[in-house]
Amino acid sequence: MIRQIIIFILITALMVGLSACAFNDKNNTKGDSKMLRKEDVMKSNRRSIYLAGGCFWGVEGYFKKLQGVYNTETGYANGKSSDTDYGSLKKSDHAETVKIEYDMSKISLEELLLHYFRIIDPKSVNKQGNEEGRQYRTGIYYPTSDGEKSNKTFDDSDKLSAAHVADTKTSIKSLLEYESKKHGKLAVESGKLNNFVKAEDYHQDYLDKNPNGYCHINLNLADKPLTDEHYPVPNKDKLKSKLDSKAYDVMKKNDTERAFSSPLNDEYRRGIYVDKITGEPLFSSSDKFKSGCGWPSFSKPILSGKVIEKNDTSYGMKRTEVRTKGSDSHLGHVFDDGPAEKGGLRYCINGASLRFIPYDEMDAKGYGFYKVFCK
């Protein structure tokens, strides 16, 4: 009788643990290279940033390929007047600019800006590719609610609260500081969006309509990782010696650690969380939040493509499993009951599968690139 009671308690604890990590299910999977549809993106997750990087045909073509971007629009920004057209840019002093609308739960502003700096010459003044002139200057412009009257295409992706505007400014400042350390003095403008005017129809989606049209950007770069790091996966024998039994069971046998058992559940220092097997960065402290579920919880991965998501129907439930892309190891599950202000998702992750790298140790341990993701 006592044995039956113990078995019952253990089974109940397991099911409670699994259900606690499954407040709501999320069945969409990533990996589709097609652009998101606006109607599929929650209004609270819609964000926009305006980027000037030379001829806007190529800039738009590049960002349309990124996972998490759901709409782009070419136009003219930060000129002297509230109206202009392509033939009047020298007079109005507008810059050719692309409005990029994205789902903040799928891609961060930091990641978008790293892509931006990848495709521009940040030290070149009024020149990108073969084009020269003020209209081809580089700039990063963010929307604010008080700019609504001077933006004729203002919509819900531009409606940022004061807190979101402050967060956007912090992200831009951090990226500019990071890039200036690499390149020296930059020629990239940054500031509040003003006088944005949508470009003529023939400029919209130009490279889709003219595949052989002029483009000063290598669009294939959009399909490649932002970093060329390599994180080798140890063989099975080395793997068993590298991991403790709990980590091995979680990562390679899809086990679940006991709720509130991981020290990382209460870890809130600045830094990153990496794959315990390979050391590949997976999550940032900036995206960690207290969920009360008993497992470390994050609003999104540190970079899109760092994890893979799969349908999981085990234990009679419909869930979305999260696995590392590099070592193909079980991490946990993702649900749609996270904080709305952080994108609405909760990546419920087993602490046994992660290793924490404090911010102050990131440079010494080779993770300096990822410091821009730690606000």
Q: Using a cut of 0.85, tell me whether the model's pTM lies above it.
A: yes
pLDDT in tens, the chain (375 residues): 555 544 444 444 445 454 445 444 444 433 334 577 777 788 888 999 999 999 999 999 999 999 999 999 999 999 999 999 999 999 999 999 999 999 999 999 999 999 999 999 999 999 999 999 999 999 999 998 655 455 556 666 677 778 888 999 999 999 999 999 999 999 999 999 999 999 999 999 999 999 999 999 999 999 999 998 899 999 988 998 889 999 999 999 999 999 999 999 999 999 999 999 999 999 999 999 999 999 999 999 999 999 999 999 998 999 999 999 999 999 999 999 999 989 999 999 999 999 999 999 999 999 999 999 998
Task: Kindly report, residue by residue over 259-307, the tens digit of the pLDDT.
Answer: 999 999 999 999 999 999 999 999 999 999 999 999 999 999 999 999 9
Please give the pLDDT value at position 35.
72
Instruction: Round to whole Å and give the CA distance between 358 and 374.
Output: 10
Write down all domains in the chain, each with its CATH number in brackets.
Answer: 38-223 (3.30.1060.10), 229-373 (2.170.150.20)
Tokens of 276: 């315990």
Catalytic residues: 55, 348
Tell me what pLDDT residue 150 has: 53
Give how far Cα 60 sits from Cα of 22, 72, 269, 334, Å: 38, 7, 37, 31
Q: Round to whole Å and give the CA distance between 23 and 291.
A: 11
Question: Going by C-beta distance under 8 Å and a sequence separation of 6 or more, which residues neighbour residue 311?
Answer: 27, 29, 318, 319, 320, 321
Q: What is the CA radius of gyration of the chain?
A: 23
**Phi and psi dihedrals of 168, rounded to 5?**
-60, -45
